[in-house]
Structure 1
């Protein structure tokens, strides 16, 4: 029998009503009993028709109220549309208009009302529309059913049973943030977060709660390492440190292992479209660049644009098959047909598999730099640049060139001198991979999900 998040929450509220599900540092906590009762009250007060789209515009300091609002909306049979309050107002309005939202919920204005607990929604019904980050184009609304969101939940052994607390700093309105919401409902540890990420505050959160599991995006890891928080905070409680949202440079993984000396460093690869399909990689010095093998019943193949599988070692498109009902783009049949095919999802990445089935990413298809007769992987260039000890962060991208068509440009954060970096790279990159231009920035531009916005770099 398929499970749903409302059903899982109800079961935990009955079994463990006083157990804390989620804590926002400095803002309070939410028990399973409170979460279930308050979301029931929101469902009763929403007065929604099944399938109504309801926008949820919340900030990271509002995780507790957001959790209540989300479960209230889906309990009512409506469709939740999570959006960050850090988005531009025009973007929020465009997304709400695109999905035809009939109502918008914001902090401090939830429609609580008395009423009987609603019946759990059917697993096949639409539960969520989550908009992609739009780093490579117009954001698209990815629609997921109740069964998709709760896939793999409800087992006898709860995830991350080694931990009493799971710390994260993922923002609301992202796939990673929704993953943490699911963990708050289903996993063993209490989920803890904070209103605003800074390296010191997040390290203090880990230390205060003695978190055994920590999740972050590579940008956060890089900031924490640069700030050397491990010199000032006791991070020895962390046994699992997971990175998600973007490729983790191999040098950053090595440095994380030194900073979190008791932790297994794990890299997760998925997308809003493919979830819950993912690959998982316990960072291995023998395969430092791999993002792992399929987990949770999913599958990965390297194929042509038509879906024809390619042999190991050959670069092609990365396709993932979800173990759950495939998601789709809401209101966009043409784009859905391009990406979702026969249970498989085209990831928009290029990569290859080795003989043992480990996946290696070459680049985002849209980021590959076609320079003269060569194709340059920006992921590879960034990985090598990160190996210089004075580079805090780096992003490679293509810029127009009068004879080559495109040339490599690299933006770096850190005190490294350009000439010194060029000498360092000369023996480590092929001639066509060497940057034609280097620029130093105080920080790389990012979207609200923490991914580097290379479109802005190309236009600067």
Structure 2
């Protein structure tokens, strides 16, 4: 049962998404029509960099890369924080016809080595904080100097290139990016994203939230993952908006609201863990009357419990829109609509945005309305498979459909609700338990800030339910009260058999719960 996509901008006759074909022409319209409008706000002094200035820097990088011996379709790594260097190197490499693989600069050297080798990158463009890295490919430092007046220059040191090898042989100049999955249980897989898939994703995000030159945001999420890259950076630049890159290139809760005020932000997007941090600090660091009114706030990349959502909306004074996507779908696949464009449904991640969504049973047959099954996605944003991994490709990509591994239901209006992940299910004596569902209940308990649920080995039942919870500062709730709260809201077999109060939970670089680390730390 294919679900019709959310109402498109062609139906509304009000909003038209930007006409882009990929990374290469992402800035072109703005450079023609609004060359001196601000594209980025950078450095601790919050200097404005115009669209014309940004495009000039990207063209400079493209010209220098074109003289290195690299060929169109070759892959390069990009290891950089959320700084001007990341944006300029990304756009410059794209304009040179190269395929860019963004990597987390905080990864251990062994993982950077493995990813660059597996990909077959011919060089690595690195930001100022990574210049001393020892990598298996030539290291090319990138530095952008921006004056207080907004003038800028780029320095790029190039040299020899590595031989073409590894998965890069499967790439061509139709590809824009190679993104690494953020899974915590298996080695990261390499996902090729074409320029056309990137354009479709950016257009879908812009259309969903009606982004325009009047909008501005702060780059909360890292740009080396799809969430920050597609939703915050690329969609903003394509639509003519402005993005503030925080000082030192990473999110800081202590400066967040000052950053929002400095750029006159109209929206931002983040994972639930960051929303929780902002919510916890709101009593002493309220957004304040000088904060510009927000059009909306977006949450993606992990489940957001409904109690937190309601509290965030009260605190921010704006609708909180939940979205859903994966690296393999070029980020966004569904989202709640703007309030004037559709209904906001509690617990939903919204309707499809430019793709089709199915919920299917074990035999691949469409499930009836409101019946749980696996979520499948099909459309122009879905990748063709994984690089260098035919077995994983054949099991995850079926006749153009992406088998997400997520469990969910579709209602009669085509709204998707997620209920868990297949691989995370706990089998307690034959009863299948979704840890995400139990976490949602735990997070709704007064005094609980965050929760992680995991399987505990058991000789009788096979597995039992374990939970680790973080309490809000100053709250007096204890395990007995939390379990009592759970018994009133969960089936008896879902109530945690073991509950531990902890100081903090481990998270991935993307901001999702690190379930592998949770199991290693609490399950034995």
Q: Same fold (TM over 0.5)?
A: yes
Q: How far 1:222 sits from its partner (Å)? A: 0.5
* Deviations 1:370-411, CA, capped at 9 Å, x for gaps: 111211111211111111120011111112112111111111
1:52 aligns with 2:74: yes
Alignment partner for residue 352 of structure 1, among 384, 393, 409?
409
Partner of 1:352, secondary structure, is: strand
- Where do 1:387-402 residues align within 5 Å? 387-402=444-459
Instruction: Give the Cα separation in 2 of the matches to 1:401 and 1:210.
Output: 54
Q: 1:376 to 1:151 in 2, by over 3 A?
A: same
CA pair 75-433 structure 1, distance change in 2 beyond 3 A: same
Please state how far the C-alpha of 1:230 moved relative to its aligned partner.
Answer: 7.4
8 Å Cα contact 1:210-1:238 kept in structure 2:
no
Measure the CA separation in 2 of the matches of 1:293 and 1:2. Answer: 23
RMSD between aligned residues: 2.6
Residue 238 (1) aligns with residue 277 (2): no
Taking a change above 3 Å as real, the CA distance of residues 452 and 308 of structure 1, as seen in their structure-2 partners, is same
Distance 2:397 2:480 in 1: 46
Residue of structure 2 in register with 1:143 after alignment: 192
Deviation at 1:454, TM superposition (A): 0.9
Query: Which of 422, 429, 438 does residue 365 from structure 1 map onto?
Result: 422
Q: What corresponds to 2:50 in structure 1?
A: 31
The CA deviation at 1:145 is 0.7
In structure 1, which of residues 163, 180, 189 is the aligned counterpart of residue 241 of structure 2?
A: 189
After TM superposition, give the deviation of residue 58 of structure 1 in Å.
0.5
Q: Which stretch shows the higher mean deviation, 351-360 or 223-232?
A: 223-232
Paired residues for 1:86-125 under 5 Å: 86-108=106-128, 109-110=141-142, 112=156, 125=174
Distance 1:331 1:17 in 2: 41
Pair 1:229–1:148, CA change in 2 (3 A):
farther
The 5-angstrom pairing of residues 274-353 of structure 1 reads 274-275=329-330, 278-282=333-337, 287-295=345-353, 297-305=354-362, 307-324=364-381, 326-353=383-410
Task: Give aligned pairs, total.
Answer: 449
SS of corresponding position for 1:442? coil
SS at 1:160 equivalent: coil
Q: Deviations over 1:127-151 (max 9, x none)?
A: 1100011223111011011111112
Which residue number corresponds to residue 119 of structure 1?
none
Greater Cα shift, 86-95 or 317-326: 317-326
Write out per-residue CA displacement over residues 124-182 of structure 1, whole angstroms, 9 at most, x where no aligned residue: 71111000112231110110111111126579989423844222301121111211221
Rounded Cα–Cα distance in structure 2 between residues aligned with 1:210 and 1:72: 28
Q: Does 1:248 align with 2:304?
A: yes
CA shift for structure 1 position 220? 0.5
Secondary structure at the counterpart of residue 35 of structure 1: helix
Q: 1:321 to 1:177 in 2, by over 3 A?
A: same
Q: Is the 8 A contact 1:165 1:210 kept in 2?
A: yes
Tell me whether 1:177 sits opposite 2:228 in the alignment.
yes
Residue 87 (structure 1) shift = 1.3
Q: Which runs of 5+ in 2 are unaligned?
A: 1-18, 129-140, 143-154, 158-170
1:264-279 matches, cutoff 5 A: 264-275=319-330, 278-279=333-334
Say whether the 8 Å CA contact 2:30–2:240 is kept in structure 1.
no
Q: CA distance change for structure 1 residues 279 and 164 in 2, over 3 Å: closer, same or farther? A: closer
Separation in 1 of the partners of 2:97 and 2:350? 37
Q: Report the counterpart of residue 504 of structure 2 in structure 1.
A: 443
Runs of 5+ unmatched residues, structure 1: 114-121
Does residue 1:374 correspond to 2:445, yes or no? Answer: no
Kindly indicate whether residue 504 of structure 2 is the aligned counterpart of residue 454 of structure 1.
no
Provide the secondary structure at the position in 2 that maps to 1:413. Answer: strand
Q: Do the aligned partners of 1:83 and 1:172 also contact (CA within 8 Å) in 2?
A: no
Offset at residue 11 of structure 1 (A): 3.1
Which contiguous aligned blocks of 4+ residues in structure 1 show a shift greater than 6 angstroms?
154-158, 283-286
Deviation at 1:285, TM superposition (A): 9.8
Alignment correspondent of 2:253: 199
User: 1:313, CA displacement in angstroms?
Assistant: 2.3
- Structure with larger RCO (C-alpha < 8 A, sep 6+): 2
The more displaced of 316-325 and 424-433 is 316-325
Where does 1:204-223 land on structure 2 (aligned, <5 Å)? 204-223=258-277
